[in-house]
Amino acid sequence: MKRTAIALLTAGLVLAGSLAGYAADPRTLTVTGTGSVTAAADTATLYVVIETKSDTAARAARDNADTAARVRNAVIAAGASSDGFSTANYTLYPEYDPKGEMKPAAYHAQNSMKVEVKDLARTGQVSDAALHAGASRIGSVVFSLSDEEAYKDKALRAAAGDARAKADAIAGRIGCAVTGVLDVSTQTVSAAPYGRSVMNMAADAAPGTTLSPDKQELTAQVTVVYEIA
């Protein structure tokens, strides 16, 4: 009889402790908000490819450098940023005789230059100028935002506002009110990229090229755990 009383007393204490812990936990409401911002690109990056071939490596490299200098001057005159140049890729490699001899028959130099254009209306003109100055082709054109972080912040603020509006609506519907925030997490802001338009535009392409980007949508998600009462 004593053992039974002790067992019941122990069970009662455990149950009471569990109920007390449950009562102490705050009531929560978890909501995910989404925010989007639409922005127009303000920068174009052209990947201009210059290819040269010669019987020696030194001459192939020199011819390539000379052509690159002409292309640089031409695209700046057409509207490219004077400080927006960099080398994306450079290769110099031998071409061997098809008969199988180990002696190189010629050397190829290939220089891929990144050219930035801030005035998007001139993107097509810059492309044409590069080809007319001796570039072999335009590998691609990428449109982007120079200050993407500012638009990401706007998208995050919109997502946070959406989460709070949803929380207030749900809490009000069930007779509660939001009293605080217990946890916040954000998902990576996705910026739908402007597609890299692989143009492979050859040097003999028709002049008057027109290039213009679509608008870009940046999206953010915020998940918030609210305390309600």
Q: How many Å apart are CA 71 and CA 85, to the nearest integer?
A: 11
Q: How many Å apart are CA 224 and CA 229, to the nearest integer?
A: 16
pLDDT category at 215 given cuts 50, 70, 90 is confident
Q: What is the pTM (predicted TM-score) of this model?
A: 0.68
Report which DSSP code applies to 102.
Answer: S
Per the prediction, the chain carries an average pLDDT of 84
pLDDT at 79: 95
| pLDDT tens column, 122-171 | 999 999 999 999 999 999 998 988 888 899 999 999 999 999 999 999 99
The separation between the first and the last C-alpha atoms of the chain, rounded to the nearest angstrom, is: 45
Which of the following CATH numbers is that of domain 43-145: 1.10.3720.10, 3.90.650.10, 1.10.3210.10, 3.30.70.2970?
A: 3.30.70.2970
How far lies 8's CA from each of 3, 12, 22, 155, in Å?
9, 6, 21, 57
| pLDDT tens column, 160-210 | 999 999 999 999 999 999 999 999 999 877 665 554 444 455 555 555 778
pLDDT at 87: 93
Q: How many Å apart are CA 202 and CA 104, to the nearest integer?
A: 27
Type of residue found at 224: V
pLDDT category at 17 given cuts 50, 70, 90 is very low
pLDDT at 7: 39
Type of residue found at 193: P
